[in-house]
Structure 1
Amino acid sequence: MAHSFDTDTEAQGLIDYVDASPTPFHACAQAAARLAEAGFTEVVESEPFPTEPGRHWIVRGGSLIAWDTTGAHGAGAGPAAGFRVVGAHTDSPNLRLKPHADHVKAGWQMLAVEPYGGLLHNSWLDRDLGLAGRVAVRTAGGVEARLFHDTDPLLRVAQVAIHLERGQNDGLVLNRQQHLVPLWGVGDEPGDVVGYLAEQVGAERDDLLGWDVMTHPVEPSSRIGRERDLIAAPRLDNLATSYAAVRALVDAARSQPGHVPVLVLFDHEEIGSMSERGAMSTLLPSVLERIVAAGGGTRDDYWRAMASTVIASGDMAHATHPNYAELHEPMHRIAVNGGPVLKVNTNLRYATDSMGEAAFRLACEQAEVPMQTFVVRSDLPCGSTVGPMTSALTGATTVDFGAPTLSMHSARELCGAEDPAMYAGALSAFLAPRRA
């Protein structure tokens, strides 16, 4: 049986995870640290996979996959034992530095950025922003990837005063090229972003070969509300699922399930997943096949395993907004602190079908948490996530789910403080379903 999760512990755990994960690279590093504490070990993707039953993870850039074969393979279920997979994504909409970022305008030192994903533009205005990312550094042994996370308030995208643009309150329109450029100093000469990055990663500027650098709000995540029953934080979409999924895998591993529980955290979901480490890549199928092969299985064993595999694709779900209730399906009200949310769309923007729904509903029953069901209004377009992609690439039964949230894709989002514990409990039960 899945273990219970304490509400206050998981709420604070989510806050700590989010604040330490300003980028997908940091989110994977934080997940890996938690897995290591639970006895998982890292496998280098270019090396052979371990042939003995064990608990392992790999990282590919901003994506991570972890698995536990000690239950299924250790108990003799064989390499054709199916998988239970929980998937999420590590990336969130933000502003990312362009290659030549330094420039000056009207006596201000600016940094050129490109919006990543479908961010709510206005939510990035007049916020104190920091910088974080990954830098490729030349070393004596080749090239090394180094992460940095600067929590100092460095940047600000300043909004124009109401006196100069009096129509703003009637409908703010922001040009992505012109109006979302952060300032980071005063002067007629450009700042030195290369020198800044070299200092952050402890390298000579000439040894910097490339970088993936992005902005992040520096205001810490916090519990808010009269009863402190809400969490205000950046990047809840989708670090809330990433955190709960890591906690669930660690918990489920204690139950020694008869199949192989797997965690996959994909990068690049917010921009379509078409990359070497996104959900549209071969990352997940190739790792699953290598797990089968390392256990002594054949190609046929792999496809046998996939035939009994179930995937749960997690992303945040829209809570019913009190100020915009007319935008929600009236028969499917979604409440924060109301439990995990099953996501259904007949046009398969979500992969859920009745068999996937059954697996997720049983997991919620086993965890003794309530389950809600989200359906978008028939006259509005429906979002999507990694579920349909992983379903198509693996042929496995797949269910889409989420946790209720407001202000999705804002620089600062909102969820319930009780939901992380229920979320982790349901996912642990999904990874380790009760045996008949």
Structure 2
Amino acid sequence: MSAPFDLAHTDDLMGFLAASPSPYHAVANASQRLEKAGFRQVEETAAWDGTAGGRYVQRAGALIAWFVPADATPATPFRIVGAHTDSPNLRIKPVPDTGRAGWKQLAVEIYGGTLLNTWLDRDLGLSGRLTLRDGRAVLVNVDRPLLRVPQLAVHLDRSVNEGLKLDRQRHMTPLWGIGRPREGELIEFLAAEAGLPAAEVTGWDLMAHSVEPPAYLGKDRELLAGPRLDNLVSVHAGTTALAAAAAGGPGLGYLPVLAAFDHEENGSTSDTGAQGPLLGTVLERSVYARGGSLEDRARALAGSFCLSSDTGHAVHPNYEERHDPDHRPMAGAGPILKTNVNQRYATDGTGRAVFAAACERAGVPWQSFVSNNAIPCGTTIGPITAARHGIATVDVGVAILSMHSARELCAAVDPYHLANAMTAFLAGA
């Protein structure tokens, strides 16, 4: 490997990606890592105490975790790393079993801004959760070739290479067998995979995922290819950084927080999304559990800062004209600082200074990103967090190619740089 960095971090990220095919699995895996670092789960319906230590709340595909140093006061501000657990994909409809022309198929709905063609002719598994009659949710992961969305042969569409147009309803239905579809077959199969009685399964949240594992690419293995880099790179880095910051104990000056939300890819409007009340409720309850007042809450939030981390666009060598000519994020050059004056990103000059200082303390390079004026800019949880909670926020991330593909690409070193910058940020100064 030519890049001088700790391979262990990227190796660990690859394991996290492979083990987290759904937001529910990502939350479960991040929670397990925090448990090993001494954090403990608290129930939202229980009374909370304000003693020192690490805690987390887990709700479906969202996770909020925080560490209370021994010297924290009720008005101690928060330092928050925000990210999201979901990725664009194909999700199973309520009546899944369908088919035609002698093929068994599964009905899917397109989730988020998916690059549809990347799901064609790819071996897919199924993952998510099954909900039982008693309300319990059980994770399920069939991580082997199970589904396939077959592309039409070139002989039947001679113009395909001049422009592929996919109908979301007609062309994206995966097949998984031969014969006539039978109602209930999919849920019976998944219940058996999970060791559950099929009759007890009354709800499900299921999605397809590529079963091809993450891998290093290139002569010197300088590149990382894998599914769900957007945005599990940030969830993994944030989990790593929170555990490292918590190990520092007292003297932080802040309460370090990880906020990993679901549903960013379709607007964040849910009880587990950044538009919902989850983060604000957790922060408020943390203040009150430490004996704080409404005044303490206001002081804590006023002094808080959020680092919203999501992937951004590296310059594409085959489409250089799509990027701003003077802002050209390169793979391997460190995390990107994302700016948009129309508030699609929350970064301002103050946020830039805070992030630059964290990178300097960590010895991490960083670079600026802004969109080409002629191309609409994406957005993140950053502006939502800033507006909803009144917390100063900066948008950062790892530069990648093939964003929203079933398989994305970044420099193998950049997740390591991001995690180190996050650790310095959470530790404060």
TM-score of the pair, normalised by structure 2? 0.97
Of the three residues 159, 166, 170, the one matched with 2:162 is 170
Task: Tell me which amino acid in the other structure corresponds to 1:268.
Answer: H
The residue number in structure 2 matching 1:64 is: 63
1:133 counterpart = 2:124: no
Q: RMSD of the TM alignment (CA)?
A: 1.1
The residue number in structure 2 matching 1:26 is: 25
The residue number in structure 2 matching 1:281 is: 276
Tell me: CA distance 1:6–1:40, structure 2 relative to 1, closer, same or farther (3 Å): farther
The residue number in structure 2 matching 1:307 is: 302
The residue number in structure 1 matching 2:245 is: 252
1:429 counterpart = 2:421: no
Instruction: Report the Cα offset of residue 189 of structure 1.
Output: 3.9
2-structure distance, mates of 1:385, 1:311: 13
More moved, 127-136 vs 249-258: 249-258
Of the three residues 237, 241, 256, the one matched with 2:234 is 241
The residue number in structure 1 matching 2:177 is: 185
1-structure distance, mates of 2:296, 2:64: 21
Task: Tell me which amino acid in the other structure corresponds to 1:58.
Answer: V
Of the three residues 377, 400, 423, the one matched with 1:382 is 377
Task: Tell me which amino acid in the other structure corresponds to 1:32.
Answer: S
What are the within-5 Å matches in structure 2 for residues 2-81 of structure 1?
A: 7-70=6-69, 74-75=70-71, 77-81=72-76
Instruction: Report the Cα offset of residue 322 of structure 1.
Output: 0.2
1:165-203 Cα shifts (integer Å, max 9, x gaps): 011100000000000000000113437112112212222
1:370-423 Cα shifts (integer Å, max 9, x gaps): 110000011110000000000001111100001010000000000111111111
Secondary structure of the residue aligned to 1:152 is strand
Answer whether contact 2:97 2:181 (CA < 8 A) is retained.
Answer: no
2-structure distance, mates of 1:379, 1:7: 39
5+ residue gaps, structure 2: none
Answer whether contact 2:54 2:66 (CA < 8 A) is retained.
Answer: yes
1-structure distance, mates of 2:228, 2:6: 20
Instruction: Report the Cα offset of residue 258 of structure 1.
Output: 1.5
2-structure distance, mates of 1:210, 1:266: 22
Task: Tell me which amino acid in the other structure corresponds to 2:7.
Answer: D
2-structure distance, mates of 1:159, 1:82: 53
1-structure distance, mates of 2:73, 2:428: 19
Task: Tell me which amino acid in the other structure corresponds to 2:230.
Answer: D
1:121-173 Cα shifts (integer Å, max 9, x gaps): 000000000000111012xxx32110011111000000000000011100000
Answer whether contact 1:24 1:267 (CA < 8 A) is retained.
Answer: yes
Instruction: Report the Cα offset of residue 6 of structure 1.
Output: 5.0
Answer whether contact 2:124 2:148 (CA < 8 A) is retained.
Answer: yes
Taking only the aligned residue pairs, the percentage that are identical comes to 50
1:399 counterpart = 2:398: no
Instruction: Report the Cα offset of residue 431 of structure 1.
Output: 0.4
1:161 counterpart = 2:146: no
1-structure distance, mates of 2:327, 2:179: 54
Of the three residues 218, 228, 239, the one matched with 2:221 is 228
Instruction: Report the Cα offset of residue 213 of structure 1.
Output: 0.5
1:217 counterpart = 2:216: no
What are the within-5 Å matches in structure 2 for residues 286-435 of structure 1?
A: 286-434=281-429
2-structure distance, mates of 1:38, 1:219: 30
The residue number in structure 1 matching 2:77 is: 82
2-structure distance, mates of 1:339, 1:330: 19
Instruction: Report the Cα offset of residue 78 of structure 1.
Output: 1.2
Answer whether contact 2:287 2:297 (CA < 8 A) is retained.
Answer: yes
2-structure distance, mates of 1:232, 1:189: 35
Tell me: CA distance 1:42–1:326, structure 2 relative to 1, closer, same or farther (3 Å): same
Of the three residues 100, 106, 111, the one matched with 2:101 is 106
2-structure distance, mates of 1:387, 1:188: 47
1-structure distance, mates of 2:256, 2:186: 43
Secondary structure of the residue aligned to 1:362 is helix
Answer whether contact 1:137 1:203 (CA < 8 A) is retained.
Answer: no
Task: Tell me which amino acid in the other structure corresponds to 1:42.
Answer: Q
More moved, 107-116 vs 48-57: 48-57
2-structure distance, mates of 1:6, 1:12: 12
Answer whether contact 1:7 1:420 (CA < 8 A) is retained.
Answer: no
Once superposed, which parts of structure 1, at least 4 consecutive aligned residues long, lie more than 3 Å away? Answer: none
Answer whether contact 1:7 1:417 (CA < 8 A) is retained.
Answer: no
Of the three residues 200, 206, 215, the one matched with 1:207 is 200
Secondary structure of the residue aligned to 1:323 is coil
Answer whether contact 2:105 2:181 (CA < 8 A) is retained.
Answer: no
Task: Tell me which amino acid in the other structure corresponds to 2:83.
Answer: A
The residue number in structure 2 matching 1:196 is: 189
* Number of residue-to-residue matches in the alignment: 423
2-structure distance, mates of 1:6, 1:136: 43
Task: Tell me which amino acid in the other structure corresponds to 1:205.
Answer: A
Task: Tell me which amino acid in the other structure corresponds to 1:46.
Answer: T
TM-score of the pair, normalised by structure 1? 0.96
2-structure distance, mates of 1:27, 1:321: 29
More moved, 118-127 vs 246-255: 246-255
Task: Tell me which amino acid in the other structure corresponds to 2:168.
Answer: R
